Chains A and B, each alone.
Chain A
């Protein structure tokens, strides 16, 4: 089982991460990846000129590893790669890349879905949206908590 996580202080290219992930595969038949992109508007419709992700010098990386390990253990996937930005992210830039590989596609789809739900609620970040009308620190949405909660109802196969 191969788990690779990275906290990126600078912009990264999702296509390079996918290429790196894919080139290290070992016979898996399924690769599923997700990219989260900074939106130019907040939920309330205000223009966002930058997203600032504050992080902890140790706990943030640890949370990425823990969440990735949990996904690998739960879904039996053979490889996971997570890259997550910290610091300032501009609109249209990638915030997070999450990928899973498995022998067959079901596990890879579910692991990637789970990874994102967990990252959205449990990854150690504090996000601030900056824009012309000011800055606002944001908290996880009820949607995100609801999404993460569904994994405690589902049974892994």
Chain B
């Protein structure tokens, strides 16, 4: 799976990372926590509720499954224009 990042998350982690989804990572919330362990410098921002997850360009909650998804994105709070 590919995980995409924007804003400060993109700067700290990278625009996207390719990873094998471990079997125990089944939901968005679990993916957040897994990414936080892989990228501790971004852990606080990743864990924050104000950072949103998106699948297929739609915001999704932490309970949503990521099994079978090719791509998940994480957005820090918008700066606006």
Number of inter-chain CB pairs below 8 Å:
59
Q: Which residue of B lies closest to A86 (CB)?
A: B81
Considering only residues 82-141 of chain A, those with a C-beta below 8 Å from chain B are 84, 95-96, 119-128, 137-140
State how many residues of chain A have any CB contact under 8 Å with chain B.
25
- Whether a CB of chain B sits under 8 angstroms from the CB of A28 is no
- Whether a CB of chain B sits under 8 angstroms from the CB of A9 is no
- Contact among A56, A123, A137 for B81, CB-based, below 8 A: A123
- Whether a CB of chain B sits under 8 angstroms from the CB of A54 is yes
| Interface size class, chain B | 10 to 19
Contact A126 B81 (CB under 8 A): no
Contacts of A59 in B (CB 8 A): 54, 57
Contact A120 B80 (CB under 8 A): yes
Contacts of B77 in A (CB 8 A): 139-140
- Whether a CB of chain A sits under 8 angstroms from the CB of B19 is no
Distance in Å: Cβ of B81 to nearest Cβ of chain A: 4
Assembled-state Cα–Cα distance A62/B77 (Å) = 17
Assembled-state Cα–Cα distance A13/B59 (Å) = 34
Contact A139 B79 (CB under 8 A): yes
Considering only residues 53-80 of chain A, those with a C-beta below 8 Å from chain B are 53-54, 56, 58-59, 62
Given A54-B6, A56-B6, A137-B7, A126–B79 Cβ distance below 8 Å?
Answer: yes
Q: Which residue of A lies closest to B50 (CB)?
A: A139
Contacts of A144 in B (CB 8 A): 80
Assembled-state Cα–Cα distance A102/B17 (Å) = 47
Contact B57 A126 (CB under 8 A): no
A residues engaging B (CB < 8 A)? 36, 53-54, 56, 58-59, 62, 84, 95-96, 119-128, 137-140, 144
B residues engaging A (CB < 8 A)? 6-8, 10-11, 54, 57, 73, 75-81
Query: Can you identify 29 A-B contacts, CB atoms within 8 angstroms?
Result: A36-B81, A54-B7, A56-B75, A58-B57, A59-B54, A59-B57, A84-B81, A95-B81, A119-B80, A120-B80, A122-B78, A122-B80, A123-B78, A125-B79, A125-B80, A125-B81, A126-B6, A126-B7, A126-B79, A127-B79, A128-B8, A128-B11, A137-B8, A137-B76, A137-B79, A138-B79, A139-B79, A140-B80, A144-B80
